[in-house]
Amino acid sequence: MKTGRRRFTVTIGLGSCGVAAGAEGVAEAFRAEARGRGLAVAVKGTGCIGICHREVLAEVSAEGGRPVLYGDLTPARVRRIAEEHLAGGVPVGEWLLAGEGEDISSLPYFAKQRRIVLGKCGLIDPEEIGDYIGRGGYAALSSVLDGASPDDVIRAVTESGLRGRGGAGFPTGRKWRIARDAPGGEKYLICNADEGDPGAFMDRSVLESDPHAVLEGMAIAGYAVGASRGIIYVRAEYPLAVKRLGIAVRQAAARRLLGRRIMGGRFDFSVSIMHGAGAFVCGEETALIKSIQGERGMPRLRPPFPPSRGLWGRPTCINNVETLASVPWIVSRGAAAYASIGTPGSRGTKVFALAGKIARGGLVEVPMGTTLGEIIFDIGGGSATGLPVKAAQIGGPSGGCLPAALFDTPVDYESLQKSGAIMGSGGLIVLDDSSCMVDIARYFLAFTQAESCGKCTFCRIGTKRMLEILERITAGKGRMEDLDLLEELAGKIKIASLCGLGQTAPNPVLTTLRFFRGEYEAHIRDRRCPARKCKALFAYSISPGACVGCGACVRVCPTKAITGEPKKPHRLDPLQCTRCGLCVEACRFGAITAG
């Protein structure tokens, strides 16, 4: 049946992951095809639904029909969809992720997820407040202002078991109670959106996809603690999140959901946005406060803690994006409903950014207590390279590297801490057998060492000495006593550092030493990198018996280290070779090996 007269809505995923994959070009291609074919097609935008590995995503819905979801789209593929689906009425099965009548929650990627924070992400237009309200948005704030006391709200959050999702896991209700009871007429609420972990994109995706959930959570928190002003401290490196936050604040204020006399009542709460200073250490509460005050972002001694004395010396409650986005759900559905999810010590859900050598990378939200193995294999699909999964780096640069043998570890605060890792904000980087664990430790320590504010001697100098040792080991100049020295320095840095950055900076080194000590010993004793990543410890060579002289390696070598006549075995000059590996990828005959 021809469908040229039917109306269609095409919804394109326009989060940063989609935009990076070419979503804007796909959206324009749908518009162009609609104009050229005379089709009634409305093209809309939405945020990230989490299936980042299949971007560009587009949902196509016919008026009166059920939607279908396409993945892996390009502008060139839009033409076929326009011809066969929009004009012809037959979905193109080749790029279909979910057909008519199929719920995407049945896909393996979503089967073990429980979406609370991400509940509206990818389903609403983040730049249109009406979409959020149409799905129950701001109903929680309305119910609070309609009759609940601040104590009622704090009690509900406390009973829910919600803990801060920024890394430390401090009970949210307890923090709110301290801020509520702190003396002082003026109080502040800060949303910490200074997400700086390598490989982490949880906060960014929520802010881009469902900014009103964060604003509603902030307004409820402000009411509970007695704050009339909220500040979102967000990374300047997140331009799309900043843009959509600004739109959301203006829209909410226009509808009297922020500002003076919210919803016609007596509660005043305004929200402003501040761009982060680009320093990882500003994710720490007291350093963040210093930055907002126009000072250098450096932590201070505690106590007093921010809920008692924070911004401008006033009581200040600081929660991160995920924590605040959980609050409307808790208020709407009740503390008991949230507390029924997860484990006794870690209630609710946790959002993770799945990255690295993973087949199905993206954003996931699972009940606390889900094991690492379930996240990596059942949701993430295991290795993307065909090589065995070796480890997972969890908790960001301050987290730990856990081997595959520990993938039965439940994801909760207590279990991860016992393993030597931390929950962190939710970065989860999957590593396969091609990863060198010594080099991984060096990479993360280099990051934290560079991001140290320099205030603490052990953090400033101790991490530098540790990094020098790791660089020496990866260069083939390590000594066995270096391993004892690394552990000694790590212990002193953890004890003597003022803030969480220094206290946790040694974690990647300590966990790799604990679980992958054999790799360190191979680097030192055998002058060999088992994963062949440390360039000083291996060299490429061409096997004359396998080389057919096709010239593919010559064409990709950036230093002209490979020479030879056509159809004759080639030669590789090790002095010119930079060990970039491009020749290995180009060779179809396996003639180039590392040794």
Residue 452 lies in a domain: yes
pLDDT of residue 336: 98
Contact (Cβ atoms closer than 8 angstroms) between residue 558 and residue 593: no
Helix (H/G/I), strand (E/B), else coil: 260? coil
Q: How far apart are CA 328 and CA 95, in angstroms?
A: 36
Residue 1 confidence (pLDDT) above 50: no
Give all strands (DSSP E) within 14-121, no chain letters. Answer: 40-46, 58-62, 68-70, 96-98
Most confident of the following: 181-185, 208-212, 591-595? 208-212
Domain count, the chain: 5
pLDDT in tens, 135-151: 999 999 999 999 899 99
- Domain region containing 576: 539-594
* CATH code (residue 146): 3.40.50.11540
Residues 6+ apart with CB under 8 A from 461: none
Confidence of residue 92 (pLDDT cuts 50, 70, 90): very high
pLDDT in tens, 419-444: 888 888 888 999 999 999 999 999 99
pLDDT of residue 210: 97
Examine the domain organization and report whether 424 and 563 are in the same domain. no
Residue 441 lies in a domain: yes
Examine the domain organization and report whether 161 and 177 are in the same domain. yes
> pLDDT higher for 426 or 548?
548
Q: How far apart are CA 559 and CA 248, in angstroms?
A: 51
Contact (Cβ atoms closer than 8 angstroms) between residue 371 and residue 419: no
* CATH code (residue 516): 1.20.1440.230
Q: Please list the alpha-helical segments (H only) found in 255-384.
A: 285-292, 321-333, 335-339, 372-373
Confidence of residue 3 (pLDDT cuts 50, 70, 90): very low
Examine the domain organization and report whether 382 and 461 are in the same domain. no
Residue 111 lies in a domain: no
> pLDDT higher for 4 or 406?
406
Residue 2 confidence (pLDDT) above 80: no
pLDDT of residue 5: 67
Residue 233 confidence (pLDDT) above 50: yes
Using left for φ > 0, alpha for ψ between -120 and 50, and beta otherwise, residue 476 falls in left
pLDDT in tens, 46-77: 999 999 999 999 999 998 888 999 999 999 99
Using left for φ > 0, alpha for ψ between -120 and 50, and beta otherwise, residue 339 falls in alpha
Nearest to 453 by CA among 509, 397, 500, 396: 500
pLDDT of residue 198: 84
pLDDT in tens, 468-520: 999 999 999 999 999 999 999 999 999 999 998 999 999 999 999 999 999 99
Examine the domain organization and report whether 303 and 193 are in the same domain. yes
Q: Please state the rounded mean pLDDT for residues 259-272.
A: 96
pLDDT of residue 372: 96
Nearest to 374 by CA among 166, 51, 109, 165: 109
Examine the domain organization and report whether 485 and 579 are in the same domain. no
Examine the domain organization and report whether 442 and 396 are in the same domain. no
Residue 303 lies in a domain: yes
The fraction of the chain above a pLDDT of 90, given in percent, is 88
316: its two tokens = 């200040």
Residues 6+ apart with CB under 8 A from 66: 100, 101
Examine the domain organization and report whether 588 and 518 are in the same domain. no
- Final residue of a structural domain among 525, 555, 580: 525
Note every long-range contact of 341-344, with CB atoms under 8 Å and residues 24 or more positions apart, other chains counting: 341/114, 341/116, 341/367, 341/368, 342/161, 342/367, 342/368, 342/369, 342/412, 343/368, 343/369, 343/410, 343/412
Confidence of residue 18 (pLDDT cuts 50, 70, 90): very high
Examine the domain organization and report whether 255 and 212 are in the same domain. yes
Mean pLDDT estimate for the chain: 94
- Final residue of a structural domain among 302, 321, 338: 338
pLDDT of residue 595: 81
pLDDT of residue 227: 97
Torsion of CA 504, 50, 434, 538, to 10 degrees: -80
Residue 408: what residue type? D
